[in-house]
Amino acid sequence: MTSACEVNFDGLLGPTHHFGGLSAGNLASLSHRHQVSSPRQAALEGLAKMRRVANMGVAQAILPPQRRPHWECLSECGFTGERHEVIKQVAKQKPKLLSVAYSAAAMWAANAATVSPSADTTDGRVHLTPANLRTMPHRRIEAAPTTRMLREIFADSRYFVVHDPLPDAANFSDEGAANHTRFCQRHADRGVEMFVYGREGEADDAEGRFPARQTRLAAEWISQQHQLWPQRTVLAQQSRRAIDAGVFHNDVIAVGNTSVHLVHEHAFADQASVLQELNEKFGGELTTLEISEAELPLEEAVRTYFFNSQLLSTGETMTLVCPAECERSDAARKLIERLLAETNPIAQCEFVDVRQSMRNGGGPACLRLRVVLTDKELAAIPPAILWTPKLHQRLSDWIETHYRERLSIADLADPRLADEVEESLDELGRILGNKRLIA
């Protein structure tokens, strides 16, 4: 019998983590715009979460930060020449562009790619499609570096296929695994993959409060190039009500793991039909835990990021890893207590403090990309990126040495920041033993 495990690839928060307020529809990002951030605290919080997950017995790996500023972005906008002078010119003429170029949003690895395990694909390989993230300029710059990094990690063509990102066109807008959920009996079993989209085509959401980022065409394209069985694939549309409440990705309103689906009642358009199709295609005991608006209003779900918790298989039961904000919310805390008291696979809850990420618009689930791997597939990826206590200590020391305690929007204009980032990421490449992992 084939065995497989889920590996959580967490984005290591980068040294230019700042509150740019660049993400339309992301209420946390917008509400903390231009406040002073702490890159050091952010990275240490993310690292501590990785240790918590690893100590639960879940395989854990890291995805390194991308190099910043993104010089190609600045060059394409007409800023060329000596790098220190470029930064000064951009800061003076287009400060928002400098914030875009320094974005550390690649830390939210749930947007890095969509992943289909080998059990689900007709060629028996793991398929990954890096997200083009074309809706937001500060995320769009991640696509090419992410593709290079994933091809370095998943390089063995016997086991892996890393596709190109989808075309950079409005009809193909793709936000990665944040809009993708896989259901199965065991990780090694053939699963049902659900793709969630916000709009059909280019401009059919023009009247909405916030943009719908994922398109149906992107979801269809990915499911086909991943060689999935149509009878085990579900396409579901986000509800406009949820998007306008600040649910910019499906993982802000629903989370699934193996045979459990935890979902708000307003997650999908025509929700009853979506859940029925999912149950029929799953063909077994799918536990659907549908949370009502009365128990957890959409506004509170978005504020606390309850559904952006990690739902993890830990032994014979599951553990919900929630942001600490849920513990401080009466509604979310009572919901968690009810779920733990009732008969369902969720038996434990742990609260993690990822405050810096939360203020910028991403909770525990945003910070990780889930990849199901067999033993042979796991052995084929670089061991240097797999979490160990030794790597944890080396990364912690590296962060303490290289990351600023405080970073303001005005600090982005300091040319020395670019030098600091370059030095720190060169050192990270040496720690990991492979500079090509730093895209």
Instruction: Give the span between the Cα atoms of 134 and 114, in whole angstroms.
Output: 15
Residue 247 phi/psi, 5-degree rounding, is -90, 80
DSSP three-state, residue 234: strand
Candidate list 325, 366, 377, 402, residue with the active-site label:
366
Candidate list 249, 261, 266, 402, residue with the active-site label:
249
Judging by DSSP bridges, how do beta strands 317-323 and 310-314 pair with one another? antiparallel
Which residues 6+ apart lie within 8 Å of 328 measured at CB?
A: none
Judging by DSSP bridges, how do beta strands 59-63 and 4-11 pair with one another? parallel
342 is catalytic: no
Which residues 6+ apart lie within 8 Å of 358 measured at CB?
A: 28, 305, 323, 325
Which amino acid belongs to residue 230? P
- In the Cβ-directed half-sphere of 9, how many Cα atoms lie within 13 Å? 28
In 51-112 the beta strands, taken as DSSP E runs, fall at 59-63
CA distances from 355 to 48, 107, 149, 203, 253 (A): 12, 14, 27, 34, 19
Residue 60 phi/psi, 5-degree rounding, is -135, 135
Q: How much is the CA Rg of the chain, to the nearest whole Å?
A: 20
Candidate list 45, 175, 300, 377, residue with the active-site label:
175
Residue 137 phi/psi, 5-degree rounding, is -55, -35
175 is catalytic: yes
Instruction: Give the span between the Cα atoms of 300 and 306, in whole angstroms.
Output: 8
Instruction: Give the span between the Cα atoms of 238 and 263, in whole angstroms.
Output: 12
Which residues 6+ apart lie within 8 Å of 345 measured at CB?
A: 259, 260, 287, 317, 318
Instruction: Give the span between the Cα atoms of 25 and 128, in whole angstroms.
Output: 26
249 is catalytic: yes
- Active site amino acids: 175, 249, 366
